[in-house]
Amino acid sequence: MLTARWDPFSDLWGRMEQLHNEMNRLFNRMSDGLTRSWVGAFPAVNAWEDDEAVYLEAELPGLDLSKLEIFVTGGNQLTLQGERQPNVPADGVWHRQERGFGKFARVLTLPVPVDADKVDARFEHGVLRIKLPKSETAKPRRIAVKAD
């Protein structure tokens, strides 16, 4: 259909949703800040799926990989935890400090069970990418219909 080609509101919806998420994250962070160190919804995550796998991506610039741990538990729980350490020069003064540092931990519940042995994680230019192949039982199966 011609009318389906352009939807002026789709962009708006995307932005609204993003704003909503940002607000949630902000409030999470604030309430966490009152009780203990920064362990809100960090890192922010983008995730998507196809028939084969669930893909997950998180921005963790400057992270030392030896400080990052990834677990899959119970087939569908993914835990990311680690620590981002500041690199502070020996002497001098700060003019601006906007980048956050410290420990983080985040648990994500995946929509389907995954094959924990085949999880592949890569870290490139400060972006962590995780591919979690769906377990065989969760994959869509094409059923051949036999004709008589």
CB of 41 vs other proteins, minimal distance in Å:
5
- The answer to whether 39 and 103 have CB atoms below 8 angstroms apart is yes
Distance between CA atoms of residues 80 and 97, nearest Å: 25
CB of 5 to other proteins, least distance (A): 11
Residue ranges binding other proteins (CB under 8 A) = 7, 10-11, 13-15, 17-18, 21, 25, 28, 39-41, 44-50, 54, 57, 59-63, 87-100, 105-111, 123, 125-127
Question: Minimum distance from CB of 143 to other proteins (Å)?
Answer: 22
Residue 57 CA to residue 122 CA, distance in Å, equals 10
Q: Are 24 and 41 in contact (CB under 8 A)?
A: yes
10 vs 136, which CB is nearer to other proteins?
Answer: 10
Distance between CA atoms of 57 and 22, rounded to whole angstroms?
A: 17
Minimum CB distance to other proteins smaller for 48 or for 142:
48
Q: Measured from the CB of residue 118, what is the shortest distance to other proteins in angstroms?
A: 19
Identity of the residue, 60 or 138, whose beta carbon is nearer to other proteins in the bound complex: 60
At CA 78, angle to CA 77 and CA 83, rounded to 5?
A: 140
